[in-house]
Amino acid sequence: MNSTVEHLRDVLNQAKGLGIKNILALRGDPEGGANGVFQKIEGGFEYSYELVKFIRELGGFCIGTAGFPEGHIACKEGREVDWDHLKNKIDCGADFVLTQLFFSNDDFFRFRDYLTKKGVKVPICPGIIPILSAGQIKRFTKLCGADLPESLVADLDKYADNDEACADFGVEYATKQCAELLRCGVPGLHFYTLNKAASVTKVLRNLKLG
């Protein structure tokens, strides 16, 4: 967001000088979150595939990009059109994909299978967030466009006034999600911690990964 090509070049060269090898190439959200309106600045990029291509041409980095199992909130043409945009980012040089958070594994499997049929072979790592409180996750998903299944909303409503119990439920839910994803061959897991690692630590212990 709000970066010119020359500024990005300087940042990437600085990263290279520091020995950084991995770059997650994101366009970034406009003011107001994912629901805001993105405005391209003069001398900057409009789409993240342009950033991916630029980093690839600069060379020296392993490049990650974002994927959206339910489709990006700003893509009004539908999720498959958004997935095709992701395929283009990969063709432009992305080496791996980290997904937006989701709560239905079926959404991830549908997304992964679509891309696999399109010939995508780079690792696609699912993004998981252990729920900390009912109110927080409802606000967060509204901003980023992720869906809360009705059955999950019903469970969250039981813990509306008890964040501690909700966090315990969140660990249990995330553990079940991750266990199924791992059984189905995902190459790794990407956790959204919101700077609070306790629940993620519990999930990893439940999975015997930490």
Confidence at residue 38, expressed as pLDDT on a 0 to 100 scale = 74
* Contact between residue 50 and residue 83 where contact means Cβ atoms under 8 Å apart: no
Q: Taking Cα atoms as reference points, which of 94, 119, 99 lies closest to residue 109? A: 99
Architecture of domain 5-206: Alpha-Beta Barrel (3.20)
Q: What is the pLDDT of residues 44-74, one digit of tens each?
A: 898 999 999 999 999 999 999 999 999 988 8
Confidence at residue 40, expressed as pLDDT on a 0 to 100 scale = 82
Q: Cα(35)–Cα(76) distance, rounded to whole angstroms? A: 12
Confidence at residue 2, expressed as pLDDT on a 0 to 100 scale = 83
Q: Cα(63)–Cα(25) distance, rounded to whole angstroms? A: 7
Confidence at residue 32, expressed as pLDDT on a 0 to 100 scale = 62
What are the E-state strand segments in 15-167?
22-24, 62-67, 96-101, 124-128
Confidence at residue 143, expressed as pLDDT on a 0 to 100 scale = 82
- Spatial neighbors of 52 by CB under 8 A, at least 6 apart, are 25, 63, 65, 89, 92, 93, 94
pTM for the whole thing? Answer: 0.92
Burial class (CB in 10 A: 0-12, 13-18, 19+), 139: exposed
Name the residue type at position 88. N
Owner of token pair 């252990």: 130
Alpha-helix runs per DSSP H in 67-133: 79-91, 105-117
- The list of the chain residues with pLDDT below 50 reads none
CA–centroid distance for 75 within its chain: 16
Return the domain boundaries, the chain. Answer: 5-206
Q: Cα(34)–Cα(1) distance, rounded to whole angstroms? A: 12
Cα(first)–Cα(last) distance of the chain, in Å?
35
